[in-house]
Amino acid sequence: MENQKMPEYETIRAAVAGEKWAVEKVVECYKDEIDRLSTVAVRQPDGSTKQEITEDMVEEQSIPQSLKNDTFAEMSDLVGMYCKVAITPGTPITKDMVMTEAISDTTREVDITGNRWPIGLLEGDYVDLRITYPRGEDFLILSHKRVMSITNRTLKIHMTEEEMHLYQAALVDFYLSAGYGSDLYLTKYVDPGIQKEAESYYSVPANVAAIILKDPNIIDKAQVNTENTLRAAIDNARRQFGLNDNSGSLIVAGRNDLNSKANTDYVQDEAERKEAEKEAEKKAEQESQQQDSLITNTDEEKEEGVN
């Protein structure tokens, strides 16, 4: 670059304005330097709202060859993958920032809900769906599910045929014991890229187990837990309280209070987050306008100097 002739000011100005002849001159001027640059994949602004990385979400940008190494992802490393962490627009993507998610033939999008969500839950987070029975017995129904989208009080996740049977059985258990204080809730992984997927431990009742054995879409029947001992523990946890035992009403009142507070805070946190995003966009727009004004004033001053 030391002996390279710089483009004239008017040429650069015309190139910025989009003049084809000027752009060609600038590119030709920097051709040798451009040839020494490599490319890495960078996620587009709309990437955070889509379910998986597709080619139209990724843009190749140039970086100095000295910064290029095997950790950066190429286009072929990204398409069809999922992000382990939130990636802001313009961030170079490395291979350890993406992960595969197995999609079986029975995988479907399913909308779910729960009594309580983690405050600050966002699309792209990973959650476990759990159920707590009135006396405190807690079971993990669905593990490590990626939140595909959030709409008001429902989440969209992927479920396999086996998981749908587990989920439906758990819903029935919950409905039958909700009046005594059962709780269906979500927990969020702190770092899904590092933390291992938790093991589900929940067993379906005999009637659902019979359906599973007949379901032609389930190839590996052993994937669904129908273990009698675990089911007996669940049935015992669901047992009703005696006529003179007011424990159930106390548990219901306590858990309803907890869920109400958590859900109220979730709504407030979501509103504050959206307001912060609007303020950030507004600030960025103002800074951009100020920069445009500065460039215009500088150009005018140069023209006055020439005259």
Token digits of residue 104: 């079986």
Residue 136 in tokens? 């405190």
Tokens of 149: 């989208």
Q: Residue 43's pLDDT band (boundaries 50, 70, 90)?
A: very low
Euclidean distance between CA atoms 142 and 283, whole angstroms: 41
pLDDT digits (tens, 9 = 90+) for 202-253: 988 888 888 888 898 887 666 566 667 788 888 888 777 666 666 667 677 7
Q: Give the helix/strand (H/E) hosting 22.
A: helix 20-29
Give the global pTM. Answer: 0.57
Q: What is the pLDDT of residues 257-268, one digit of tens each?
A: 767 777 777 777
DSSP 219: S
Write the CA distances from 222 to 91, 213, 219, 225, integer angstroms.
43, 10, 9, 7
Q: How many CB atoms lie within 10 A of CB 186?
A: 22
Residue whose tokens read 């405050």: 119
| More confident of the two residues 177 and 77 | 177
Strand duo 149-151 + 138-146: pairing: unpaired
Whether the predicted pLDDT of 178 surpasses 70: yes
- Max Cα-Cα span within the chain: 98
What share of the chain in percent tops pLDDT 70? 60
Helix (H, G, I), strand (E, B) or coil at 171: helix
